[in-house]
Structure 1
Amino acid sequence: MTRPVAPLRLQPLTRARIRALGDEGSAWEARLPRLLSELAAEWSLTLGGPKPGGSSSYVTSARTGAGGEVVLKVSLPDPQLVHEADTLRRADGRGYVRLLAADPGRGALLLEALGVSLQHATLPVPDQLALLADTLALAWQPADEHPDAARDKARDLGDFVAQAWIEQDRPCPEAVVDRALTYAQRRRSDPGEPVFLHGDPHPGNLLAVPSGRPGGETGWCFIDPSGFVADRAYDLGVVLRDWSGRLAGSGARPRLAQWCRLLAERSGVDATRIWEWSYLERVSTGLYLRSFGADRAGAPFLRSAELLLDANC
């Protein structure tokens, strides 16, 4: 028999996304307790407490009928979930969390339980960057295995930045947007080496794995892949996107340039490409968060982008 579902505690960003979805988001939240109960019964789970993190899902710990620890993830309405399940299935644990079961129609994934995220590990930044780069090298899959997954990510981000900046009444200096659009055009004209990417490899999406687990040679694995084919420098740019708190004052530019060089040496990818993708991601993420009402979360991204304006990696 499954445990009754406890009162749900949704993450602040998830709640902001629910509000942005309007009636569709409200309907998802209303049916979530029943859906969790149904999934627990079908997959023989005893549900535990909610897990931290995430911006578009409800994630909870659980135990199987045999007593094993697992994680149940139920996403907000998202057609991309089928691609997440496919990415994890193909990876079979190599650089990624293991997929145990999936019901894309109901937005549900059953995953192996992992440890602490890199975001909450007490490691120096250079060590964290090295782990992210090394685990990406494990996780990347050949582009030719995903013939229908190519994305013009530079065009998509450039178009979004240009439109969102106007729609949001110019929330950052025009020079920030001009620099982001310049980098988007450069990345479009020089698309680099395509691989099947993770798509969102920030430190919160890298979790510790049990010692000796095949596919987890770095000791860490990724969760929550977006899964598309593009320049591998893109993923390394995303790695550098979420360090706004460490990019303040006059030291911001040289510090980020040093991190770009570290990732370049670790991966063999050009440092300038990493810099440009990271800047474009920084600006687009700040505007994206603002687009569904998470203005406070988006502000550090736009402030740090302004500090980095005069830098080149």
Structure 2
Amino acid sequence: MPIDLSAVLATFAGRDEIWASWVDTVPGRVVALLEEWKLVPDGPAMHGFASVVVPVLHQRDRAVLKVAFPDDESEHEALALQHWHGRGAVTLLRADPRRRALLLERLHPTDLTEHWDVEACEVVGGLYADLHRPALPQLRTLTSYVERWGAALGSLPRSAPLPRRLVEQAVSLGHDLVGDPASVGRVIHGDLHYANVLAGDRAPWLAIDPKPMSGDPHYEVAPLLWNRFDELAGDVREGVRRRFHATIDAAGLDEDRARDWVVVRVLHNALWAIQDGDPDPAWLTTCVAIAKAVQD
């Protein structure tokens, strides 16, 4: 069957010239990969924020072909998936890192976004043990990023729309964590939230779309707190704390260390919003509310 990518590629319209150049290459790349890997399209194309996904048949087995935007975060996605060998994550069947192409087992479209958030946090926390394996030397280190982001956070003017106390706390915590050998050495997913866990046949739930680094498992918790944040309206403090404790209890993480990483990570989120210009006040409020809730 012919593959129509027009509707999917239209979702990337309006981004910058680098994105436009990538979009121009996608149709030819997909067609070439379908032919070279002997894949048969098996349904309408889909997309993530930075990738095109085509359901295919591979030797009569159901799979998906993923072609991703060549950003730094996903550079070693194939390497991490190969390292996990399907334990806790989608299985990698074939890869061409140069073309950012992956052939993956096909999972179900059901993710954790509609599940009770505490139960979903327990599911994600339960995946950590399989994913947080000894890191590969090729991976960038979490601390190399945090050191740079911490310096930028500390350089914000006092007039920045963030509580100065929290800014200074996050800078200090980040500095201490960068200097701690335990902040590197394990493969971390980097973006493990409700929509990046799909239902499977060989396992109830499997992670997808890693942004792998050599880092600290305690870094993983924060996205579960800011995603689906609107559901916590009227009960932010208790809601954040329920999610936080459900996750760290399921994973057996250290509470203090996980808390420190949450504070650092949400303040970095606020930093990036400010750096991008005209930050959404609601997003800055969310970041501050999470940092305060885990410490109350």
| Partner SS state of residue 142, structure 1 | coil
| In structure 1, distance between residues paired with 2:13 and 2:101 | 18
Residues 1:138 and 1:15: Cα distance change in structure 2 (over 3 Å)? farther
Residue 196 of structure 2 aligns to which amino acid in structure 1? N
| In structure 2, distance between residues paired with 1:55 and 1:185 | 31
1:132 and 2:114 matched: no
> Contact between 1:3 and 1:46, CA under 8 Å: does it hold in 2?
no
Residue 218 of structure 2: aligned partner: 233
Within a 5 Å distance, the mapping from 1:1-313 to structure 2 comes to 3-10=2-9, 14-15=12-13, 18-19=15-16, 22=17, 24-47=18-41, 48-52=43-47, 54-64=48-58, 66-79=59-72, 81-120=74-113, 122-143=114-135, 146-149=136-139, 150-152=141-143, 153-162=145-154, 170=160, 172=162, 174=164, 177-190=167-180, 192=182, 194-210=185-201, 213=202, 216=203, 219-249=204-234, 251-288=235-272, 300-308=282-290, 310-311=292-293, 312=295
| In structure 1, distance between residues paired with 2:224 and 2:210 | 13
Residues 1:58 and 1:291: Cα distance change in structure 2 (over 3 Å)? farther
The structural deviation recorded for 1:97 is 0.6
The structural deviation recorded for 1:272 is 2.5
Unaligned runs of at least 5 residues, structure 1: none
Residue 147 of structure 1 aligns to which amino acid in structure 2? P
> Contact between 1:5 and 1:37, CA under 8 Å: does it hold in 2?
no
Residues 1:72 and 1:159: Cα distance change in structure 2 (over 3 Å)? farther
| Partner SS state of residue 210, structure 2 | coil
| Partner SS state of residue 115, structure 1 | coil
Residue 209 of structure 1 aligns to which amino acid in structure 2? G
| In structure 1, distance between residues paired with 2:97 and 2:209 | 14
Deviation sequence 1:198-237 (CA, Å, 0-9, x none): 1211111111110xx2xx3xx1111111222211101123
Residue 97 of structure 1 aligns to which amino acid in structure 2? V
Deviation sequence 1:268-297 (CA, Å, 0-9, x none): 21223222322332333355467678966x
Residues 1:181 and 1:270: Cα distance change in structure 2 (over 3 Å)? same
| In structure 2, distance between residues paired with 1:131 and 1:208 | 11
| Partner SS state of residue 27, structure 1 | helix
Indicate the larger mover: 201-210 or 146-155: 146-155
Residue 146 of structure 2 aligns to which amino acid in structure 1? A
> Contact between 1:118 and 1:204, CA under 8 Å: does it hold in 2?
yes
| In structure 2, distance between residues paired with 1:32 and 1:294 | 32
Deviation sequence 1:174-218 (CA, Å, 0-9, x none): 5554443243234334454642211211111111110xx2xx3xx
Residue 275 of structure 1 aligns to which amino acid in structure 2? R
| In structure 1, distance between residues paired with 2:133 and 2:227 | 24
> Contact between 1:244 and 1:300, CA under 8 Å: does it hold in 2?
no
CA RMSD, Structure 1 to Structure 2 (Å): 3.0
> Contact between 2:196 and 2:209, CA under 8 Å: does it hold in 1?
yes
> Contact between 1:85 and 1:102, CA under 8 Å: does it hold in 2?
yes
Residue 118 of structure 1 aligns to which amino acid in structure 2? D
Residues 1:189 and 1:280: Cα distance change in structure 2 (over 3 Å)? same
Unaligned runs of at least 5 residues, structure 2: none
| In structure 1, distance between residues paired with 2:129 and 2:180 | 21
| In structure 2, distance between residues paired with 1:280 and 1:50 | 37
Residue 270 of structure 1 aligns to which amino acid in structure 2? D
| In structure 1, distance between residues paired with 2:87 and 2:197 | 13
> Contact between 1:155 and 1:188, CA under 8 Å: does it hold in 2?
yes
| In structure 2, distance between residues paired with 1:267 and 1:29 | 39
Identical-residue share of aligned pairs (%): 26
The structural deviation recorded for 1:81 is 4.3
| In structure 2, distance between residues paired with 1:159 and 1:50 | 41
